Chain A
Amino acid sequence: MNKSRSFLDTTDFYFVICGEKKTQNGEDSYYMDVDDDGAMCFVFDGCGGSGAKIYPEFGRKTGAFVASRAAAEAAWEWKHSLKRGEAEGTFSESLSSSINQKLAVYHGLVRSGSMLRSSITREFPTTLAGIYLRPYKDGNAELADFFWCGDSRCYILTEMGLQQISLDDLPVKDAFRNLKEDAAMQNVISSSGKYVLHNRKLRITLPCVFFSATDGCFGYLKSPMAFERLLLKTLMKSKSIAGWKELLFQSWRKIAGDDFTISMLGAGFGSFQALRTFFSQRLQYLDRNFPAREDMTEDELQQQWDAYRVSYEELCTEEKQ
């Protein structure tokens, strides 16, 4: 009798990087959990503009701070309800339900009103980007459910390069334009419960690096090409996963104008050396076809993006579960 493989059999590495703009007041959060059955790679970005209200009930933290942590707790509870077979409905329905219940608890503890009237503010707003991975039969692939709400993103990094799976809840879906426009999000988790949690299921052939990331990771670079280059250049400079993680952290620390959080898992490579070898050709391709120069004009960058986006956006569509 065949015993289905452990998820850990193909898992090479996993880590979270979380950097705060203001120490102990970071509005990002995460939930990462890896075991024999699968993995959860979730990040949350409490929305600092619309969730700027300060709550004396929660140690004078902002609604954004509380919301991202509450949603992370809810994702943890959702995972355990899945394990117990108690989650009802589709994944996005049961995960939304878990988040709504958790935010309702926090909302119920609020005693203070706000003096402000505003068309900007929301109660406990946060984004979510998450990946639920588990083994796909016994083959060399993983079954991946991608979840997102807001402008945090789910990605995969394979021999095809960087591919965005989620679709930003912004007026424009173009990842390059969104770096420049700073537009208001059209859909974000909040205690009102009025949001859509997107979900997409894909079978992903290994080897692959899966990750979810808040906008601090990609939003302060000039282009999506620059984001892939940052990931690969830091990998090539590293001698270990720990070294890569440290280099990524230091890079974002210099670049990001916001909190940054990434939850990453690599599978199917076999070793760190194999991971580096696998992506070294891709980096050469990137440098050859999409070189970065200080004096690059907007038009040149746009031309690069037009060519790069063909592969980058290939999986970036919205589907119902």
Chain B
Amino acid sequence: MQADMMMKYNVDMVFCIDATGSMKKVIDMVKDNALNFYRDVVESMENAPDQMQKKSINTMRIRVVIYRDYKADHDMAMMTTRFFKLPEEEEQFRDAINSVQAHGGGDEPEDGLEALAYAIRSDWNKEGIKKRNIIVVWTDASTHPIGYGSSDPAYPGGMPRSFSELTEWWGDEQMESPFINDNAKRLILFAPERPAWTDIVDSWNNVIHYPSVAGEGMEEFTYREIIDAIYNSI
């Protein structure tokens, strides 16, 4: 029977964390949530309580995108890591999360859309048959329009020129994304109900939005709903 059996998931996650000054109050909570989040997804996929077989994970990788505001923070506005392979590189992943310091940011909107662009354009694992490509955003702020900070020398090349182009990067059932698999992708937003997060949840597929300051005050069963929506088919 073994030769007929299936098939393991390759799971990649990108954690986008707003590390501006206004996040000071909640940054420790966000760090804890980020560290726990991957464990909870793994547990849901791997550890069915009654020995029933499960969605086994073949590979699990996580990268971290720390973002602020190009106009205010210049070359400290966007810090990205490579993908860490877990559990082998858990220590490096923990170090990356724990090193996040909340500061800067300038005005209230931040450059969350550029962080999303970085995340979407990640070097997703294309190997294997079944995949999950999960992006999680924690923030307490709205976003600048994309390209708002483009006059800053630190602003990267190759960013989308508009929200419409970023939407094309995400893709949908009709228009395949050049970067991320439509069946595999999930975007989880722990973000306030402000632009452009509300635009995203209204117009992008496979998005779950918990409207809040970076996920504050979430009840256990809402969290469970999010985890289940990630690992189950839809």
A-side residues, CB < 8 A to B, are 19-23, 47-50, 52-54, 60, 62, 114-121, 171, 179-186, 215, 219-223, 226, 229-230, 233, 251, 253-258, 292-294, 296
Please list 25 pairs of residues, one from A and one from B, whose beta carbons are closer than 8 Å in the complex, sorted by A's number. Answer: A47-B232, A48-B232, A49-B228, A52-B229, A53-B225, A54-B221, A115-B218, A118-B229, A119-B207, A120-B229, A121-B229, A179-B6, A181-B183, A182-B131, A182-B183, A182-B184, A183-B182, A219-B6, A222-B6, A230-B4, A253-B52, A258-B55, A292-B3, A292-B4, A296-B3
B207: which A residues are within 8 A, CB to CB?
118-120
Known: A21-B48, A22-B48. 5 other contacts (CB 8 A): A52-B225, A114-B222, A118-B208, A180-B129, A294-B2
Complex: chain B residue closest to A179, CB-CB: B6
In the complex, B29 has a CB within 8 A of chain A = no
A171: which B residues are within 8 A, CB to CB?
173
Given A52-B229, A118-B209, A120-B234, A253-B53 contact (CB < 8 Å): yes
Which one of A181, A184, A257 contacts B206 once the chains associate, using CB atoms below 8 Å? A184
Complex: chain A residue closest to B45, CB-CB: A257
A114: which B residues are within 8 A, CB to CB?
222, 225
Which residues from 175 to 231 on chain B have a C-beta closer than 8 Å to any C-beta of chain A? 182-184, 186, 193, 201, 204-212, 218-219, 221-222, 224-226, 228-231
Which one of A117, A185, A296 contacts B201 once the chains associate, using CB atoms below 8 Å? A117
Complex: chain B residue closest to A292, CB-CB: B3
Given A116-B210, A221-B6, A251-B1 contact (CB < 8 Å): yes
B173 to chain A, nearest CB (A): 7
A252 to chain B, nearest CB (A): 9
Q: Is the CB of A180 within 8 A of B130?
A: yes
A26 to chain B, nearest CB (A): 10
A183: which B residues are within 8 A, CB to CB?
182-183
A182: which B residues are within 8 A, CB to CB?
130-131, 183-184, 233
Q: Mark B2-14, 1 if CB is under 8 A from A, else 0.
A: 1111110000000
Q: Is the CB of B7 within 8 A of A222?
A: yes
CA distance A182 to B185 in the complex (A): 11
In the complex, B101 has a CB within 8 A of chain A = no
B73 to chain A, nearest CB (A): 29
Q: Is the CB of B228 within 8 A of A48?
A: yes
A49: which B residues are within 8 A, CB to CB?
228-234
